[in-house]
Amino acid sequence: MIKAVRGTRDLLPPETALWNFVEAKAREVFRAYNFQEIRTPVFEETQLFARSVGEETDIVSKEMYTWEDRGRAQSDKGQSLTLRPENTAGVVRAYIEHKLWERGLQKLYYIGPQFRRERPQKGRYRQFYQIGAEVIGPPSAGSESPARDAEVLEMLATFLDRLGITGWTLELNSVGCPNDRALFNEALRKALEPVVAKMCVDCQRRAVTNPLRVFDCKIPEDQPIIDKLPRISQFLNQPCRQHFDEVQAILKATGIPFTLNDRLVRGLDYYTRTAFEFTHGGLGAQNAILGGGRYDGLSESLGGPQAPGIGFAIGEDRLVMSLPQSANAVAPQPDVYIAPLGAGMNREAARLARELRGEDIVTELGDESFRLKKSLETASKMGARFALIVGENEVKAGSFALKNLASGEQTSAPRAELARMIRNSVIASRVQIAPENK
């Protein structure tokens, strides 16, 4: 048997209803903040990620799905291509390629699959889904403003609240500008020198290539050493400090709770200033629902104009896992099951189904080879509210037997009345069952 590849999975109904719910809510909330959707390709030139995410990161150094494409001619050497491990690089590439700065400040969101060759476990997949957004534009459009950072964070808090997700924590830090980081890296290197031999192999490598990444270390034995290392907060210059203070002040003014975490450096190289993560207690080891931050130099490093920006990526798989119990997916049920009885009734049944579906009534269509008993059983099993019986007599009379499968009550209804009767009953029962969903 051929199975889905390790680290990938099928999303089946009824769970897909939860994914639709989350995505519809994202579109609705982001719209209120004047964001618009962007869709970029799932694969890009490898160098896009190498130059933006950073050669030294785990993503680029060991997690990308990269292959050499075939050239046009057999003998041509192909391009190196990579399945996108994240979407910010693609959005910024598109921003540069289509000169989006000419249209002022861009507020863009995306929803789609990303690919990383990580070790699969609960909440961590090799194909996973992100819902993300970017605010990017020329400095003259206010893209550098701390108001943009606070707006994005407030939008995220609103989104989680609207999904009914409680118990999230917003952790906030500033990783400063490249100048601050150069000084900080120097200080870190010095502080690591006498202790690094006692640390894990990954940290030993990081200490040489990119000491900041030491803060990503999850090995318990290394933590007491990491706790004593200098922090980026001690190295922020005046403008960076002011920017960070203002972000916090706006968050306080809008009532968004946060905690400062000066160990938060994030896994990607392009971040500057504000860096953040939302975590959720119910998720276990993989507790980060989303992460993001500012990336003021990214556009230039990809050959574009100055275009400060801030963005985030939500792990949709984890978001769905964090939904409250009350959001349990229930398989949606048809309003009516049409049961054609006897020879030649399939055609008439198909006509009726077409009419009812045209009125937005969820209709399942049976087959005339089923007897009445089997049709009613099938209708009940799928949870249909009504069975509509289409026999020769009914067709002749132009009036059909409509059976309420819950109460067993059966009425005869003229063709023109069917849609209205079904709709009235369905609406009445929806109000009764779930008034809180209104």
- Bridge partners (DSSP) listed for residue 59: none
Query: Judged by CB, which is closer to ligand AMP: 308, or 315?
Result: 315
Residue 293 binding ligand AMP, by CB under 6 A: no
Number of neighbouring beta carbons within 10 Å of residue 431: 11
CA distances from 155 to 35, 125, 135, 254, 304 (A): 11, 26, 12, 11, 28
Q: Which residue type sits at 195?
A: V
Rounded to the nearest 10 degrees, the angle between the axes of helix 418-433 and helix 345-358 is 60
Q: Which of residues 140-159 bind ligand AMP (CB under 6 A)?
A: none
The nearest distance, CB 331 to ligand AMP, in angstroms, is 25
First-to-last alpha carbon distance for the chain, in angstroms, is 45
Query: Judged by CB, which is closer to ligand AMP: 294, or 318?
Result: 318
Residue 58 binding ligand AMP, by CB under 6 A: no
Rounded Cα–Cα distance for residues 339 and 355 (Å): 15
Residue 318 binding ligand AMP, by CB under 6 A: yes
Judge contact between 316 and 19, C-beta under 8 A.
yes
Interface with ligand AMP: number of residues (CB under 6 A): 16
- Alpha helix positions (H), 116-192: 146-162, 178-192
- Only one of the segments 219-227, 284-292, 303-311, 405-413 lies at the binding site for ligand AMP (rule: CB under 6 A); that segment is 284-292
Query: Both tokens of residue 248?
Result: 């916090």
Judge contact between 337 and 374, C-beta under 8 A.
no
Q: Which residue type sits at 360?
A: D
Which one, of 367, 365, 368, 343, lies nearest residue 354 by Cα?
A: 365
Query: Judged by CB, which is closer to ligand AMP: 107, or 318?
Result: 318
Rounded Cα–Cα distance for residues 418 and 438 (Å): 25
The nearest distance, CB 24 to ligand AMP, in angstroms, is 20
Query: Judged by CB, which is closer to ligand AMP: 296, or 335?
Result: 296
Residue 294 binding ligand AMP, by CB under 6 A: no
- Bridge partners (DSSP) listed for residue 169: 279
Residue 180 binding ligand AMP, by CB under 6 A: no
The only residue of 142, 267, 282, 342 in contact with ligand AMP, by rule CB under 6 A: 267
Residue 291 binding ligand AMP, by CB under 6 A: yes
The nearest distance, CB 53 to ligand AMP, in angstroms, is 9
- Ramachandran class of 342: left when φ > 0, alpha when ψ lies in -120 to 50, beta otherwise: left
Query: Judged by CB, which is closer to ligand AMP: 313, or 365?
Result: 313
The nearest distance, CB 125 to ligand AMP, in angstroms, is 4
Residue 415 binding ligand AMP, by CB under 6 A: no
Strands (E), 84-126: 106-115
The nearest distance, CB 351 to ligand AMP, in angstroms, is 47
Residue 176 binding ligand AMP, by CB under 6 A: no
The only residue of 313, 345, 353, 387 in contact with ligand AMP, by rule CB under 6 A: 313
- Only one of the segments 41-49, 96-104, 139-147, 310-318 lies at the binding site for ligand AMP (rule: CB under 6 A); that segment is 310-318
Query: Judged by CB, which is closer to ligand AMP: 57, or 375?
Result: 57
**Residue closest to ligand AMP, measured at CB:** 315
Query: Judged by CB, which is closer to ligand AMP: 258, or 370?
Result: 258
Residue 288 binding ligand AMP, by CB under 6 A: yes
The nearest distance, CB 86 to ligand AMP, in angstroms, is 5
Query: Judged by CB, which is closer to ligand AMP: 124, or 357?
Result: 124
- Ramachandran class of 27: left when φ > 0, alpha when ψ lies in -120 to 50, beta otherwise: alpha
How would you label 343-365 residue by residue, b for 16+ Cβ within 10 Å and e otherwise?
eebbebbeebbeebeeeebebbb
The nearest distance, CB 155 to ligand AMP, in angstroms, is 16
The nearest distance, CB 7 to ligand AMP, in angstroms, is 8
Q: Which of residues 103-142 bind ligand AMP (CB under 6 A)?
A: 116, 118, 124-125, 128, 130
Rounded Cα–Cα distance for residues 180 and 188 (Å): 12
Angle among Cα 318, 63, 11 to the nearest 5 degrees reads 35
The nearest distance, CB 8 to ligand AMP, in angstroms, is 11
Rounded Cα–Cα distance for residues 239 and 34 (Å): 28
- Only one of the segments 40-48, 227-235, 311-319, 320-328 lies at the binding site for ligand AMP (rule: CB under 6 A); that segment is 311-319
Number of neighbouring beta carbons within 10 Å of residue 238: 7
Residues, the chain, total? 438
Q: Which residue has the tokens 């905690």?
A: 259
The nearest distance, CB 314 to ligand AMP, in angstroms, is 6
Query: Judged by CB, which is closer to ligand AMP: 88, or 248?
Result: 88
Binding site for ligand AMP (CB under 6 A): 86, 116, 118, 124-125, 128, 130, 267, 288-291, 313, 315, 317-318
